Structure 1
Amino acid sequence: MKLALWQGAGTPGDLTATVAAAAQAIDDAAQAGAALLVFPEGFLTGYHIPDLAPGGLPGVEAALSQVGAAARASGLGVVMGTHLDRPEGLRNAAVVFGPDGAELGRYHKRALFGGWEKATFVPGDAPCRFRLGGATVGVLICYDVEFPELVRAEAQAGADLVVVPTALMAPHDRVARQMVAVRALENQIFLGYCNRAGTEPGMSFVGLSSISGPRGQTLAQAGTGEETEMILAELDLSEIARERAEASYLDDLVELPGL
């Protein structure tokens, strides 16, 4: 299974331009042989929208339908970061499409970061997993991955791969540089961490998107936040079993005394 991550940004406030950019990235990923393409947190709508309030996201559902159509035309799965205006309130979300364009699920970010997110969004309360290319894939968003319990729960539920649309801004690059690979290693899974590029009001994104393997090894690494680029890696799912054959953190955890 080949995984692709698009480190970039759409055009906040211009859904037409953003969908066109997404469709081009989807086609490029398909041409490169990818089975799954992940976009950053808030790619469709923009991430940091200071005055965002219910009613402030017109056209998003129609734009998501166009993303699904692009996925179907190219025949690959897509995870799209977007904000959603739902009856229960605004959500920071990732919407998953299968290679046939059908929507496979919506994940709502559970660990909201900072005052703006907590004041703007309703937190999610449930996981999202799907099957693609013989793999079970779990979805988290940005700050979620900084909680080892959330990644561990995905691994315990059978996820081979966890994908993480992200909007990691300066000065927090230590998360991308130090923490992400450890989450893959300590759960012996693959992990795709897809960050934004560029800037938004009051924020400069650090880039450093990466694909990590079950030994914590770096399979692909993007540059810093000024660089828009696609990274790809072939995931050998049998590597998970090989890595766990001698010592499985998941199996050994349940045998530890006192826990």
Structure 2
Amino acid sequence: MMLRLGLWQGEGVPDNRVATLQEVERVLADAVEAGASLVVFPEGYLTGYYIPELKTDDLADVEEALVAVGRIAAEKAVPVVMGAHVLSAEGTRNAAIAFSSAGEELGRYYKRLLFGDWEKETFVPGSHPTRFEIDGLSVGVLICYDVEFPELVREEAQAGTDLVVVPTALMSPHQRIARQLVPVRSMENQIFLGYANRTGAEHGLDFVGLSSISGPNGESLASAETAPKLLLADLDPGLLQHERADNSYLEDLERFRNG
């Protein structure tokens, strides 16, 4: 079954959760009208990404806002992956929360590889993958810097994941990650990969956009430049089968390891 993936490249409304939720509703309405069967928002979209001196009080209303995201997902009848900073028993997390088309929470992925001093001082890293199924495709979740580590993407491929979605907050001058590395991750693992980046600026960080949806041979199925944009691409499971039929990297790697 074909899955139409939607990625929103944009930003929320700073310090205004209500207005950000209104943006979520608007984007989802547009995505559903365009036939999307899964919509992914950028890293920290619901809360803002870079918040110097982030305090627990700043996130006191996030769970309530996430309930609202689930309600909107149910109203639009579309699964959603939402980037947000959240509180957990272990501490503050950089998270991506997946919702079903009924608004039920499917899982929370906590960013495992933290980037730079601010993230390492602010967040507790995650330790486990998060996966769910949409329209017959297995979907895995990573966040931004995670995708720069081939081991994490390979782990998803070895687990049978067909699509990896990556809420992102890639800033200047790191455009090479989006342009060069991301397509390689999809190709070397023969999977679909959706990379949803932010736009705009926060406290001196300039986000570069360059969101993309890549196919299992690294080809671009949809891409953006720097402006806000809804990306859409149809993910055909037949492409996965075709790409893996001639040579399966995973099968050949297994044979190599086993001598």
TM-score bracket for this pair, using the shorter chain length: over 0.9
Encode CA deviations 1:87-126: one digit per residue, 9 max, x unaligned: 2100000000001111000000000000000000000000
Q: Which amino acid aligns with 1:214?
A: P
How far the C-alpha of 1:85 sits from its partner, in A, is 1.5
Q: Which amino acid aligns with 1:156?
A: Q
How far the C-alpha of 1:79 sits from its partner, in A, is 0.2
Moved over 2 A (4+): 53-56
Please name the residue that 1:23 is paired with.
25
- 1:89/1:235 Cα in 2 relative to 1: closer, same or farther (>3 Å)? same
C-alpha distance in 1, partners of 2:244/2:225?
A: 31
C-alpha distance in 2, partners of 1:243/1:33?
A: 26
- Selected match of 1:87 from 89, 98, 101: 89
Please name the residue that 1:169 is paired with.
171
Q: 1:12–1:44: 8 Å Cα contact kept in structure 2?
A: no
* Paired residues for 1:159-198 under 5 Å: 159-198=161-200
Please name the residue that 1:119 is paired with.
121
Please name the residue that 1:66 is paired with.
68
C-alpha distance in 2, partners of 1:28/1:77?
A: 14
The SS at the match of 1:255 is helix
Q: Which amino acid aligns with 2:172?
A: A
The SS at the match of 1:55 is helix
Q: 1:75–1:100: 8 Å Cα contact kept in structure 2?
A: yes
How far the C-alpha of 1:54 sits from its partner, in A, is 2.6
Q: Which amino acid aligns with 1:240?
A: L
How far the C-alpha of 1:239 sits from its partner, in A, is 0.8
C-alpha distance in 2, partners of 1:216/1:210?
A: 11
Instruction: Note the residue ranges of structure 1 that are not aligned, 5 or more in a row.
Output: none
How far the C-alpha of 1:257 sits from its partner, in A, is 4.7
Identity of aligned residues (%): 58
Please name the residue that 1:251 is paired with.
251
Normalised by the size of structure 1, how large is the TM-score? 0.98
Encode CA deviations 1:156-186: one digit per residue, 9 max, x unaligned: 0011000000000000000000000000000
How far the C-alpha of 1:238 sits from its partner, in A, is 1.5
Instruction: Tell me whether 1:235 sits opposite 2:235 in the alignment.
Output: yes
Instruction: Tell me whether 1:140 sits opposite 2:135 in the alignment.
Output: no
Normalised by the size of structure 2, how large is the TM-score? 0.98
The SS at the match of 1:256 is helix
How far the C-alpha of 1:56 sits from its partner, in A, is 2.4
- Selected match of 2:221 from 200, 219, 223: 219
C-alpha distance in 1, partners of 2:140/2:90?
A: 24
C-alpha distance in 1, partners of 2:51/2:89?
A: 19
Q: 1:84–1:91: 8 Å Cα contact kept in structure 2?
A: yes
Encode CA deviations 1:41-96: one digit per residue, 9 max, x unaligned: 00000000001023321211011011101110111110000000122100000000
Of stretches 41-50 and 55-64 in structure 1, the one that deviates more from structure 2 is: 55-64
C-alpha distance in 1, partners of 2:257/2:118?
A: 42
Q: Which amino acid aligns with 1:218?
A: S
Q: How many residues align?
A: 257
Please name the residue that 2:133 is paired with.
131
Please name the residue that 1:151 is paired with.
153
Q: 1:161–1:190: 8 Å Cα contact kept in structure 2?
A: yes
C-alpha distance in 1, partners of 2:108/2:81?
A: 9
- 1:76/1:257 Cα in 2 relative to 1: closer, same or farther (>3 Å)? closer
C-alpha distance in 1, partners of 2:148/2:258?
A: 25
Instruction: Tell me whether 1:206 sits opposite 2:215 in the alignment.
Output: no
C-alpha distance in 2, partners of 1:257/1:236?
A: 30
C-alpha distance in 2, partners of 1:90/1:115?
A: 15
Q: Which amino acid aligns with 2:237?
A: L
- Selected match of 2:108 from 87, 106, 109: 106
C-alpha distance in 2, partners of 1:74/1:209?
A: 23
